[in-house]
Amino acid sequence: VVPVVRVRCGLPLCGVRTCGLTLSFSIRDDQKTVERVRKELQARGVKCWMDIHGGMKGDIYGSMAEAVQGAACVVCFMSKKYQVSANCKLELTFAKQRGVPIVPVMMEATGWEASEWLGLVTAGLLWTPLGNGDEFAANTSQLVKHIQDAVGVEMEVEVELEEETVD
């Protein structure tokens, strides 16, 4: 009997957690960029949790906690509005406390950097610039690499045992 390994998503994003990413963003920001990133990641076979796509069920805090606890990684879309959002702060600090890898994305085009709680939580992390739409494709590829680096080599796999003759 030879084990057959099937990877459940297109990126090595899974360990003991549910396969997928949590996309953390301010509802007050322009969501078009976040939506484009979600579609690009899903095209690569990556499951993404996003509150506006059915992620919120009943209790907002319970839904956010479940999304963070089940994530292989939290991608936070940093902006001025993200930094002043109480819910974004709760979600990202909970990810940090739970040891869930965080991959920041910079949504502001120029001249702003994270400070206060957001600067502390993301200090030392590599962020991907997505504030300039002209470089979206190249920067999305960079984001994928940052996600892979943050998650490491952990993968969730399904192992199916099949009878196979080995000569």
For 60-91, b/e burial (b = at least 16 CB within 10 A) is eeebbbbbbeebbbbbbbbbebbbebeebbeb
Confidence class of residue 28 from pLDDT cuts 50, 70 and 90? confident
Q: Are strands 128-129 and 48-49 parallel, antiparallel or unpaired?
A: unpaired
Q: Which of 92, 97, 70 is nearest to 25 (CA)?
A: 92
Write out the two tokens for 18: 């549910």
Least confident of 41-55, 83-97, 109-123, 125-139: 41-55
Q: Which of 35, 7, 11 is nearest to 141 (CA)?
A: 11
Can you give the pTM of this predicted structure? 0.76
Q: Which of 67, 66, 120, 48 is nearest to 89 (CA)?
A: 120
Taking only the tens place, the pLDDT of each residue in 69-93 is 888 899 999 999 999 999 999 999 9
Top mean-pLDDT range of 43-47, 55-59, 76-80, 111-115: 76-80
Taking only the tens place, the pLDDT of each residue in 49-73 is 766 545 455 677 877 888 888 888 9
Q: Which of 149, 158, 130 is nearest to 13 (CA)?
A: 149
Write out the two tokens for 31: 């969501």
